[in-house]
Amino acid sequence: MLKKLLALSLLMVGFVVQAQTYKLAITDLEGMEELEREFGQFKKVLEAKTGDTIKFFPVPSRTAGVEAMKSKKVDFV
């Protein structure tokens, strides 16, 4: 009985998903105000659907976005 309970507990731990924070690099926009204006609604919907937190990271170019990803400053470009 104890083994079954332990096995069930371990199985249920696999189904628990913690909310995460993802950093998203956005290119070709100047400043956080413009970024929020252009992508704010997208961010709200994505956070609501996934339960995760999205943070924007403005970068001046795609190359800068790739460099930010390589240095682990962002998760997505």
Residue 13 falls within a domain, yes or no? Answer: no
Tokens found for residue 11: 């199985």
Q: How many domains does the chain have?
A: 1
Bridge-based pairing state of the strands 21-27 and 53-59: parallel
Residue 57 falls within a domain, yes or no? Answer: yes
The reported pLDDT for the residue numbered 72 is 93
Residue 46 falls within a domain, yes or no? Answer: yes
Q: Which domain range does residue 38 map to? A: 18-77
pTM for this prediction = 0.65
What CATH number corresponds to the domain at position 76? 3.40.190.10
Tokens found for residue 69: 């990803």
For the segment 8-65, what is each residue's pLDDT rounded down to a tens digit? Answer: 555 555 555 577 999 999 888 777 888 888 889 999 999 999 999 999 988 989 999 9
Distance (Å, whole) CA 74 – CA 55: 9
DSSP state of 60: S
Distance (Å, whole) CA 42 – CA 70: 25
Contact between residue 67 and residue 27 where contact means Cβ atoms under 8 Å apart: no
